[in-house]
Chains A and B, each alone.
Chain A
Amino acid sequence: MSGEISLLGSLVIFILAVLVGFEVISKVPATLHTPLMSGANSIHGIVLIGGMIIAAEADDILGYLLAFVAVVFGAMNVVGGFVVTDRMLQMFRKKPTAPKADGKEA
């Protein structure tokens, strides 16, 4: 759909990406495991793009319906995931700040 990539090429990309993932993620300290998971979670929201592509292909009611649900789900995953990860990460501070300044979400 987006260029000519052979099955074999795709498999190679997949395997290398898994290995890169292992390498990068095994260095993340336990302190950050929750934000890591939540951040990774928002990255798989990339299926939003899949939803957009099928929306462009759809030409019947069933297709529209499927595409719509996929786009809603994907957008929720992406937007919610990144925002909540940022909310968590901004709490990790090296030095304590004045208790008043750290109130709830601004």
Chain B
Amino acid sequence: MDQETLSTLFIIIGALAASSFVIGLHFMNSPATARNGNLISAGGMTVAVIATFVYLILRDCHHDSCAVGGLTTEALVIIIAGFMIGGAAGLYLALRVAMTAMPQLVSLFNAVGGGAAAIVAIFDYLKIVGGPDETISTTIFVILGVVIGSITFTGSLIASGKLQGLIRGQPIAVPGGVYTTIALGLVALVSTVLLVLGAGADPVIELSSEVKTVVLFVILGASLTFGVTMVLPIGGADMPVVISLLNSFTGTAAAMSGFVLESPLLIIAGALVGAAGGILTKLMADAMNRSLVNIMVGGFGGGEGTQADPSATGGTVREVGVDDAAIQLAYAESVIIVPGYGLAVAQAQHACRELGDILEERGVKVVYAIHPVAGRMPGHMNVLLAEANVPYPQLKEMEDVNPEFNRCDVALVIGANDVTNPVARTDPASPIYGMPILDVDHAKSIIVIKRSMGRGYAGIDNSLYTDPKTGMLFSDAKAGLEDLMGAVKEL
């Protein structure tokens, strides 16, 4: 086949694969079609990978000697062995991971994706430096690929480590604080300017290829360090935002590699992911009522675990016994269950669903109200409840469920705190004022399962707990739910 036709065919197949990604993402808009959507994307990806392999083989040999078509023996080994090793590792992790550990795995996959994009960019620069292909535009895309890719690589690894508990979840102060981050940014910026001015056929600054290579590695080092210093100071509960942001970065880095390799497929796929991450970042930041800058500067979530002082809010806390709570639940017409991260920590999602089933058997209408940031990544709580076999029509989003609290007899809050705090609506002085919350306090009666009066992530008192309608059931989420189940069964 002549090379012209081959390239054309390759681009057409790339366009088909890119379309499959768009269609696949489109099918994600409903739980009924989402699984097929993912399969469509995966199919497109398979076609794209096979087509690339075939294209590389059919291509003319650009080396002294080639083993098969356009590929040297080394290249064949690298592609086949690399794919087997990477694929097996990915498959193993994907099949083994517990649903509670999903955020750290997604973060890890994100890290390697970013790393791969950075490597492709580095390779390409080493290839073109000093040659006619070293244009200003290519230099810019290469550097963007290196910078964004490597920030994502180390940033996602740190995020994954924090989520896994390998690194302390609390904000960690970086030596020099913001100044270190700024200094790193400046180093990268100056180096970038240097390389851009040194690029092209008629460069502003004459630099040897060796110097340019060294400068590129300075940029690489600064970006890798920047990723670490960027994520270390960010607290555990801000992780949904950070993961979304890093996901968006990787997409952008992949698109930059696409510019360098002149591959429309990489550009489109990268841009789609960049947009997805961007939207989720905004949604998460809005749902936490915090700006991206505020989260990046960090240092917020230090309050978790401090003890609340009920007298400060002027109310008293009413404790409720297991039997009382069970009676309220069993004789209610409708119950809204509000699960928070405490439920996931206690691995209580199965117990939660069982209690829901028992209540439904008694004719109680049960739905689950899920705040957008419940869990450690966007939508995490939905996955945990789906794993526990809760049918998705019962999983209600915040906007849909909030009006229903007015009509519900009992709201059962399990391991959720700040996202139920009414001061977000009422007290302009509160740090969480304006944060969208679940209107749990509108329910006729409220039961809160909680281990202690400990504060939530924001480190402030929750006025829901001193509401006269609220009964506190002090217990571990799982133990509390099991006790409630037992008590309801005996009624």
Contacts and interface: CB of A to CB of B under 8 A. Distances in A.
B331 interface: no
Interface residues of B, number: 125
B379 A36 contact: yes
Contacts of B372: 30, 33
Interface stretch (B76-84, B221-229, B446-454): B76-84
Contacts of B283: 30, 33
A39 B474 CA distance: 39
24 contacts: A3-B7, A3-B10, A17-B18, A21-B25, A29-B29, A30-B283, A35-B383, A37-B247, A40-B276, A41-B247, A42-B42, A44-B250, A45-B109, A53-B120, A54-B123, A63-B123, A66-B123, A69-B115, A74-B86, A77-B112, A91-B383, A94-B32, A94-B393, A96-B389
Q: Is the interface of B mostly helix, strand, loop or mixed?
A: helix
Contacts of A31: 31, 370, 379, 382, 392, 395, 397
A4 B372 CA distance: 44
A49 B113 contact: no
B137 interface: yes
A86 B36 CA distance: 9
Contacts of B272: 17-18, 20-21, 24-25, 40, 43
B28 interface: yes
Given A2-B11, A56-B70, A92-B35, 10 more contacts: A17-B271, A18-B275, A29-B397, A31-B397, A39-B37, A43-B21, A43-B273, A55-B74, A75-B82, A99-B389
Interface of B: 7-8, 10-11, 14, 18, 21-22, 24-26, 28-32, 34-35, 37-39, 41-42, 45, 48-49, 52-53, 55-56, 59, 62-63, 70-72, 74-75, 78-79, 81-87, 89-91, 93-95, 97, 99, 102, 105-106, 109-110, 112-113, 115-117, 119-120, 122-124, 126-127, 137, 243-244, 247, 250-251, 253-255, 257-259, 261-280, 283, 357, 370, 372, 375, 377-380, 382-383, 386-387, 389-393, 395, 397-398
Q: Which of A41, A67, A82 has the most CB of B within 10 A?
A: A41
Interface in A60-86: 62-64, 66-86
Contacts of A92: 31, 34-35, 382, 386, 392
Nearest to B287: A30
Contacts of B123: 54, 57-58, 63, 66-67, 70
